[in-house]
Chains A and B, each alone.
Chain A
Amino acid sequence: MSTLRSRGPARRPRQTSEGWDRPRPASEGWDRPRPASEGWDRPRPASEGWDRPRPAGQQRGRPRGRGEDRHAPYRRPAASATPAAAGPAVPARRGPLPGWLVVGLLWLGLLASVLPWWLDTPTGSLRGTAAQLTAAGQITGLVAGYLLLVQVLLLSRLPVLERWIGAERLIRWHRDVGATVVVAVLAHLALIVVGYARLERRSSLGEAWTLLREYEDMLGAYAAAGIMVLLGLTGIRAVRALLPYELWYYLHLSSYATLLLGFGHQFTHGQQLFRPGPVRTGWIVAYVLVLAALLGGRVLVPLRLNLRHRLRVADVVAENRDTISIYLTGRRLDRLAVLGGQFFRWRFFAPGCWWQAHPFSLSAAGNGRWLRITVKVVGRHTADLRELDPGTPVWFSGPAGTFTAAHRRRDRALLIAGGTGITPIRALLEELPPGATLVYRARTPHDVLLGPELDWLAEARDVDLWYVVGSRDDPGPRQILSPRGLREIVPDVAERDVYLCGPAGLLAESVRLLRRAGVPRRRIHLATFEF
């Protein structure tokens, strides 16, 4: 039996028969920062000489300073021994309208991009296969050109998109649109080559060669198509899994080159675009807007954010054998508008780390004084993070994500976390209306993260908390992740929002289960690790 339930003080302390070998303190012996609501008042570190000692049990050879007040900042003031129910305010609901608006605009854009062809082509004018092939080539060309801009826009990190659509959905769209762009570009290329070849009664290969050699700007267009096919291949999951992240990253950077390389031929040869006029102007304006979005979302907005907050690493704390929490402090964090469950992209200015940015969810809701991320060490980068020194400057961008209480549709929620997936859910829990149910899957008791905080939150916010520990095939996990088991712990599951975060396998299994239990897709909120 490895399913544990925790709710309220009455049922605590919980011990398992099979040796829960990590001390799971109730309110005593607590030496971890707690949510701000509790009135925990840790001194704000100045940017200089921040040398907060780390909790015992850490494996780092760094000299520790000021050992005598080691526990002083963390001790819970006696006054707040009973957890305050007054947590961070529950954010107002946001509703799906803004998201639909963006989707509608994108579809309108697609129509608008094909419209010039429609107006330009008199009905009945497409006589003959060659003319029809060429026309189809023009349509696919226009569509590909537009979708390429959409591709860039989706990943422009524009705050509006990141917070309305959510990074998860943006990535999914980027994937789907990406596949479509590659096919559209190849279709455009093939149709135009064959169409022109038929018009001029030549072989298709010869025509392809002529286009490359004699037509202005076509060399770039061919190169762009080549890069796009390559990117499309690396986008296939199986291929991507084989590539080191770094290689994949640099290949993806080259996608900006396709934008540049493919730009010219649209205006020299595009039947709808080569003539000066409103269409050509509109197309150029679209390019300018997308580039502006890119510049704004990727450069200007983060720049402003970082100039305002100037984050630094305050401390790195081991949560268990392979998980660490990084505490960060900065200026004016009370003005950082972040919701529990959202994530930032982090770039740590330390050797080996500075050149890559990784998304990590906050593992505690914003409290105006410090931020925390909790990271599992799985690769080189995360291993390097373990060695971060306090004071290391941090560049971050965000917040992003719709995995928040603001995106709920109902006031009751079921949360399912797997392993490290608890981190955004831990933060989210602080802002959800009371009465949620949390199911926390972990392989072994060692893998249970942030346990004391969860217990505390369960008490403070009336959360039904279930630890489901064991491997996938153990009876406990199997029982609870079955339609019947789910109904037993949350009889009203079909009436709730469900927040899921964890490994892909657990997510897929849970979504299947929930859909069968009658939860509509729009009320299932996913936070995936896959980006």
Chain B
Amino acid sequence: MRRAILAIGGLAASTTLLVAVKGAPAVTPVAQAGAAGRSGASGAPSGPAAGGASSDPTAKGSAPPGRSGGAKPPAGARTTGPANRPPAGPVTVTGALVANEYGNVRVRVTLNGTDITAVTALELPESTADSTRRSASVRSRMGAQAVQRDSADLDTVSGATATSDSYRQSLQAALDRAARGERG
């Protein structure tokens, strides 16, 4: 019995340790993420180990996480329609990194003029098997819808409200950047 107690104690201690180690702010990955980041939104996963989703710096920067569905993309012209400087040929633009309580969302959109030809989700929440499954349905449904509608005004995927919101925001940010003539 004494050993069982030891084993249980060991299990608790090592689980806590593992979580603490993985939860500690990582120096290198943050720097990389920051370097590869976007102009506006800072959004490296660098929050302290403790604290709720609201303490996430990303949330403040790019977009407030919200279940309201009313959250709008960050500052910048909201030009879903005609582009100012229609580029020649297909261009690829990466959207903002939008964080919500499940993880990060970022999409890359390929445009031919104002015509969305493809949307690739670079990042979607995959912290649990279930959220991975939800993300997969967001990826396929919203991607197809975006190509169909040529806009970021997409229907929410049921069961994945927050991720749908973030997806819309990231896509909108990408479209805005494209409208400003930015690339990459």
Give the interface of A toward B (CB within 8 A): 114, 117-118, 121-132, 134-136, 139-140, 143, 172, 175-180, 183-184, 187, 196, 199, 201, 215, 268-271, 274
Contact B26 A134 (CB under 8 A): no
B129 within 8 A of A: yes
Task: Chain A residues near B46: list those with CB within 8 A.
Answer: 124
Cross-chain contact of A126 among B23, B29, B56, B67 (Cβ < 8 A): B23
CA distance A268 to B128 in the complex (A): 11
- Judging by beta carbons under 8 Å apart, are A199 and B15 in contact? no
- Of the listed stretches B4-12, B77-85, B112-120, B166-174, name the one at the interface; the rest are far from the partner chain: B4-12
> Using Cβ atoms and an 8 Å threshold, which residues of chain A touch B52?
128-130
Would you call B51 and A128 a contact (CB within 8 A)? yes
Count of chain B residues with a beta carbon within 8 Å of a chain A beta carbon: 39
Residues of B13-27 whose CB lies within 8 A of A: 15-16, 18-19, 21-26
Most chain B beta-carbon contacts within 10 A, residue among A122, A126, A201: A126
A-side contacts of B129, CB under 8 Å: 268-271, 274
**Which residues of B come within 8 Å of A, CB atoms?**
1, 3-4, 7-8, 11-12, 15-16, 18-19, 21-26, 29-30, 45-53, 55-56, 67, 101-102, 127-132
Query: Are A269 and B26 interface neighbours, CB within 8 A?
Result: no
**Nearest CB in chain B to that of A267: its residue:** B129
What is the CA–CA distance of A187 and B47 in the complex, to the nearest angstrom?
Answer: 26
CA distance A139 to B19 in the complex (A): 9
Q: Which residues of A contact B132 (CB under 8 A)?
A: 271, 274
Asked if B15 and A139 make an inter-chain contact with CB atoms under 8 angstroms apart, the answer reads: yes
On whether the beta carbons of B67 and A124 are closer than 8 Å, the reply is no
Tell me the complex Cα distance, A201–B100, Å. 12
Asked whether B7 lies within 8 Å of A132 as measured between CB atoms, the reply is no
8 Å CB contact of A132 from B4, B26, B49, B101: B49
Q: How far is the CA of A130 from the CA of B55 in the complex (A)?
A: 13
Task: Using CB atoms, name the residue of chain B closest to A211.
Answer: B130
* Of listed B4, B46, B48, B50, residue having the most chain A CB within 10 A: B4
- In the complex, how many angstroms separate the beta carbon of A393 from the nearest chain B beta carbon? 40
Q: Which of A114, A122, A128, A268 has the most CB of B within 10 A?
A: A128
Q: Would you mind naming 30 contact pairs between A and B with Cβ atoms under 8 Å apart?
A: A117-B18, A123-B21, A123-B24, A124-B22, A124-B23, A124-B24, A124-B26, A124-B29, A125-B23, A125-B45, A126-B23, A126-B49, A127-B47, A127-B49, A128-B53, A129-B51, A131-B127, A134-B128, A135-B19, A176-B7, A179-B4, A179-B8, A180-B7, A183-B11, A187-B15, A199-B127, A199-B128, A199-B131, A269-B128, A271-B132
B residues near A114, Cβ cutoff 8 Å: 18
Contact A123 B15 (CB under 8 A): no
Instruction: Determine if A130 and B11 form an interchain contact, defined as CB atoms under 8 angstroms apart.
Output: no
- Report the minimal beta-carbon distance from B76 to chain A, rounded to whole angstroms: 26
B135 to A: closest C-beta gap in Å: 12
Q: Are A128 and B47 in contact (CB under 8 A)?
A: yes
Told that A123-B21, A131-B23 touch, could you supply 4 new A-B pairs with CB distance under 8 A? Answer: A128-B55, A135-B23, A184-B11, A196-B130
Task: Give the CA-CA distance A124 to B1 in the complex, in Å.
Answer: 37
Complex alpha-carbon distance, A125 and B19, angstroms: 10
Kindly list chain B residues whose C-beta atoms are within 8 Å of the C-beta of A274. Answer: 129, 132
Kindly list chain A residues whose C-beta atoms are within 8 Å of the C-beta of B131: 199
Q: Complex Cα distance A180/B10, Å?
A: 10
Q: Which 7 A-B pairs have the closest CB atoms?
A: A124-B26, A126-B23, A179-B4, A123-B26, A127-B47, A176-B4, A180-B7
The residue among A180, A187, A196, A268 with the most chain B CB atoms within 10 A of its own CB is A180
* Inter-chain contact B128/A177, CB cutoff 8 Å: no
Once the chains bind, are B53 and A271 in contact (CB under 8 Å)?
A: no
With A123-B26, A132-B49 as contacts: A201 and B56 at CB distance below 8 Å: no
Return chain A residues, CB-CB under 8 Å to B15. 136, 139-140, 143, 187
Question: Which residues of chain A come closer than 8 Å to B7, judged between CB atoms?
Answer: 176-177, 179-180
Q: Is B45 touching A271 in the complex (CB atoms < 8 A)? A: no
Neighbouring B residues of A176 by C-beta, 8 Å:
1, 3-4, 7
A294 CA / B58 CA spacing, docked (Å):
52
- Are A139 and B53 closer than 8 Å at their CB atoms? no
Chain B residue at smallest Cβ distance from A196:
B128
Cα-based distance from A256 to B69 in the complex (angstroms): 47
- For A236, give the chain B residue with the smallest CB separation: B1
B56 proximity list for chain A (CB < 8 A): 127-128
* Cα(A134)–Cα(B129), bound, Å: 11
Q: Is the CB of A134 within 8 A of B67?
A: no
**Cα distance, A170 to B131, chains bound together (Å):** 40
CB distance B23 to A199 under 8 Å?
A: no
Asked if residues B102 and A199 are in contact (CB atoms below 8 Å), the reply is yes
Q: Which residue of B lies closest to A118 (CB)?
A: B18
Give the nearest-CB partner of A125 in chain B.
B45
In the complex, the answer to whether B11 meets A143 with C-beta atoms within 8 Å is yes
Expressed in whole angstroms, the Cα–Cα distance for A134 and B128 within the complex equals 8
Chain B residues within 8 Å of A123, by CB: 21-22, 24, 26, 29
Q: Which residue of chain A is the closest to B10 with respect to CB atoms?
A: A180
Query: Which of B4, B8, B26, B130 lies in contact with A122, CB distance below 8 A?
Result: B26
- CB neighbours (8 Å) of A184 from chain B are 11
Residues of chain B within 8 A of A118, CB atoms compared? 18, 22
Closest beta carbon of chain A to B53's beta carbon, Å: 5
B4 and A126 within 8 A (CB): no
B18 touches A139 (CB 8 A): yes
- Give the nearest-CB partner of A180 in chain B: B7
Instruction: Note all chain A residues with C-beta closer than 8 A to B49.
Output: 126-127, 132
Q: Please measure, in the bound complex, the distance between the C-alpha atom of A124 and the C-alpha atom of B12, giving whole angstroms.
A: 20
Q: A180 to chain B: which residues have CB within 8 Å?
A: 4, 7-8, 11
Chain B residues in 8 Å Cβ range of A187: 11-12, 15
User: When the two chains form their complex, are residues B19 and A126 in contact, meaning their CB atoms are under 8 A apart?
Assistant: yes
